[in-house]
Structure 1
Amino acid sequence: MREVTLERYAGPEASGQLDAFLPAYKEIYAEPPYCEGPHDVAEFADRYRTQTGRPGMRLVLARDAKEVVGFTFGYLLPPDTGWWKNLLEPLPAEFTRENGERTFVVIELAVRKPWRRRGIAAGLHRTLLDGLNAERVTLTMRPEPEAAPAQSAYAAWGYRKVGVSHPWEDAPYYDAMVLDL
């Protein structure tokens, strides 16, 4: 088995990497419970292009030779973020106050099925956060039982659940998680 390498990109250089990891995204998110099709993938690509312009944007790719086997990315929440407004139960204002440097949000962290259970997700996560000057990290994820492996991983990495998020009308419900740095 070859060694998987991790590559981190920031800001504008991350925008040029979409074509490198989009095949992995399509493969991973075609699986249940996501079952995404071409329209969903196109919407993801459009969102990603916008997200690469956000302050603090970072992307990490895991490669087995030249093939992308996993990826993660995120950015700093801006002061005017709506991130915390999607929670079913509001959190205290002091908790949700953002200044553009306080909270880093992990938007995606995914590994292709043949490469799962090899520590690649942990490596992606570690590399994404390495050297980050934020107070905390947040993300949302599907609840158990559909995301039991992810739930276990995030708990092992120190995340705690702070609420349930419902980001848009037809969206599923997600567990909102926070990791203090």
Structure 2
Amino acid sequence: MPELTYTRHEGQDAADALDVFLPAYEEIYAEPPYLEGPRDVADFIEHYAAQAKRPGMRLVLAHDGPDVVGFTYGYYLAPDTRWWANIQDVQLPPEETREDGRRTFVIIELAVRRAWRRRRVAATLHNVLLEDVHAERVTLTVRPEPEAAPARQAYEAWGYHRVGTSHPWEDAPLYDCMVRHLQQAPPAAP
């Protein structure tokens, strides 16, 4: 079996790569617990177009020859983000929800096609995505259903911990919001 290759795309290059990884997205998210159909895919395309314009946007693709077998992308949370306001079951202190446009990098998607799972593809995608990310922490969400347990276990093994339940939009399912600290904040001035 040939070795997988990983490519990183940023800014407009990431926006232009949607058609390259969309077939993998459609395949992965047709599975439980997602069960996405054509309307969901159309919504994803619309959201991705907006997300691709965010500061620090980067996309990483895993390739097996010409086929994209996995992908991940994310960006820095903006100061006016609603990310933390979507947490439903805990009240986070203001110092935990403050954003400055560089404090927190958010991973929006991290997905691998079934035949390539359990081969460290997700871990490599994750590592390549976070190379040169200069943030205090990384956040992501994962579905709570049993089908998503392998993903949650991987995130925990990579140093993430759950901070609460996120409900990102009105018709959205619930997600577990997780955080991983990358570096300590600079010490406060005396």
Cα deviation per residue 1:83-136 (whole Å; 9 max; x = unaligned)?
000101220000000000000000000000011010000000000001110110
Instruction: Show the counterpart of 1:17.
Output: 17
Whole-angstrom CA distance in 2 between matches of 1:78 and 1:169: 21
Higher mean C-alpha displacement, 139-148 vs 102-111 = 139-148
Instruction: Show the counterpart of 1:151.
Output: 152
Q: Say if 2:60 and 2:129, in contact at 8 Å, map to a contact too.
A: yes
TM-score w.r.t. structure 1 length? Answer: 0.98
Whole-angstrom CA distance in 2 between matches of 1:79 and 1:157: 26
Instruction: Show the counterpart of 2:176.
Output: 175
**Cα offset for 1:170?**
2.3
**Cα offset for 1:171?**
1.7
Whole-angstrom CA distance in 1 between matches of 2:116 and 2:145: 22
Instruction: Show the counterpart of 1:46.
Output: 46
Instruction: Show the counterpart of 1:104.
Output: 105
Whole-angstrom CA distance in 2 between matches of 1:171 and 1:37: 15
**Cα offset for 1:144?**
4.7
Cα deviation per residue 1:127-155 (whole Å; 9 max; x = unaligned)?
00011101100001111523110011000
Where structure 1 has 5 or more consecutive residues not aligned to the other structure, the ranges are none
Instruction: Show the counterpart of 1:70.
Output: 70
The alignment yields a C-alpha RMSD, in angstroms, of: 0.8
Instruction: Show the counterpart of 1:136.
Output: 137
Q: Say if 1:144 and 1:151, in contact at 8 Å, map to a contact too.
A: no
Instruction: Show the counterpart of 1:31.
Output: 31
Q: Say if 2:28 and 2:114, in contact at 8 Å, map to a contact too.
A: yes
Q: Say if 1:56 and 1:76, in contact at 8 Å, map to a contact too.
A: yes
**Cα offset for 1:173?**
1.2
Q: Say if 2:33 and 2:145, in contact at 8 Å, map to a contact too.
A: no
Where structure 2 has 5 or more consecutive residues not aligned to the other structure, the ranges are 183-190
Instruction: Show the counterpart of 1:124.
Output: 125
Q: Say if 1:12 and 1:52, in contact at 8 Å, map to a contact too.
A: yes
TM-score w.r.t. structure 2 length? Answer: 0.93
Cα deviation per residue 1:12-65 (whole Å; 9 max; x = unaligned)?
110110000000000000111111011110110111011111000000000000
**Cα offset for 1:169?**
2.5
Q: Say if 1:62 and 1:124, in contact at 8 Å, map to a contact too.
A: yes
SS of the counterpart of 2:29? helix
